[in-house]
Structure 1
Amino acid sequence: MGRTPCCEKVGLRRGKWTAEEDAKLNDYIMAHGIGSWRSLPQNAGLLRCGKSCRLRWINYLRSDVRRGDISKEEENIITYLHSSLGNRLVLI
């Protein structure tokens, strides 16, 4: 009963991602797009879990992920919305 495991935990790499693994994941997604995260590691030649690949892509490798400080304008917008709406983040 319940969900089947995403992969066999035996023989998978854990811990820090290498630049080579990042390149493989990025190249595969650019060539084939995002499909099944469960089958992606095997198809891309990675010894990682599908969940690990998904999190790496979403949090670090996606091209539209913006890093760094927020601008003064963005800070002013946040301050204004917080002063007018409070902590009701759903409305923001």
Structure 2
Amino acid sequence: MGRSACCEKVGLKRGKWTVEEDEKLVKYIQSNGEGSWKSLPKNAGLLRCGKSCRLRWINYLRGDLKRGYFSVKEDEMIVMLHKSFGNRFVKSSIP
């Protein structure tokens, strides 16, 4: 009684994304928005799973995604916030 599969696994590409696939995904999202990730691959003309498209967009292709090291200002803010709040919001496995 588990969840149904997100897509038909037969005929889908797996592994590394090509530049052409990235361009198709970016172009589709720029013109139509994110919408339903389940139907996006078919509408965008990609032979990928919706989950794969979502993860590719969120982790690599999004325009506001910042990659690389923290700036000095960001690093100082992290230290200051940790001094103020500590690990208060970290869930502990110990009751």
- Normalising by structure 1, report the TM-score: 0.90
State the shift of 1:31 in Å. 1.0
Deviations for 1:11-51, whole angstroms, at most 9, x for unmatched residues? 11111111000000000111111111111101111010000
Equivalent runs, 1:6-85 vs 2, <5 Å? 6-85=6-85
**Following the alignment from structure 1 to structure 2, what is the Cα–Cα distance between the partners of residues 64 and 13?**
27
State the shift of 1:81 in Å. 1.5
Q: Which runs of 5+ in 2 are unaligned?
A: 91-95
- Normalising by structure 2, report the TM-score: 0.87
Identity rate, percent = 69
Matched residues, number: 90
State the shift of 1:82 in Å. 1.3
Match of 2:93 in 1: none
State the shift of 1:79 in Å. 0.9
Q: Which runs of 5+ in 1 are unaligned?
A: none
State the shift of 1:68 in Å. 1.4
Which 4+ residue blocks in structure 1 deviate beyond 6 angstroms?
none
